[in-house]
Amino acid sequence: MLQSPILVGLNHVLKGDLALLARAQAHAGKRIQVRIPPIPPQTVVIEPSGYASATSSPDPADLTIAATPWTSYDGSPRRWSDRFTMSGDESLAGLVRDAMQSFDMEDELAKLIGDIPAHRIGNAARSISAASADIVERMARNVAEYLTEEKGVLVSKAHLETFAADVAALDARLNALEERIRGIEGITRAM
């Protein structure tokens, strides 16, 4: 049976770092759910050995890790944990954050295929990630422009600012009119 890349990656990092493995053993029995759309959520449980194994238990997760489908990779291991939100057990979240920070994809790949091919693959991954992030940003701008300019569903910032200024001017004129009416009422009462 093919194992989840999340499970394989976590166990690989734990295998290479005995201090992290010892910390993981203290969390035996705890569940971690990973949500990376569009992949279905995956839940793993920490075994008494400290390693993780897949579970299909309906019990709630002690820690939930979520990412967006457009999480970009720039090759920096220190930034992996910045791309995910974690909610739940803070101690377990700290362990996972430390595991993510100690994982260097390019370094791990270099052990299998050598430094130069790993570096080239890393550069390609960074380029693809940057391009996909650029595509998403352009699509969002185009959809916003279409909804603003073509369909008129959204209001542009300039139009909103003009409208707010017009409302403020109308409010000032209304206040001046109310003052004039009060002045006229005061004069008619005095008569």
Q: Domain range holding 49? A: 5-103
Reported as a single tens digit per residue, the pLDDT across 137-168 is: 899 889 888 888 888 788 878 888 999 999 99
Question: How many domains are there within the chain?
Answer: 2
pTM above 0.85, yes or no: no
CATH number of residue 63's parent domain? 3.30.1050
Reported as a single tens digit per residue, the pLDDT across 61-90 is: 899 988 765 555 555 544 555 667 888 889
Are 97 and 185 in a shared domain? no
117 in a structural domain: no
Out of 103, 137, 170, a domain closes at 103
137 in a structural domain: no
Are 85 and 22 in a shared domain? yes
134 in a structural domain: no
Residue 166 tokens, joined: 């017009």
111 in a structural domain: no
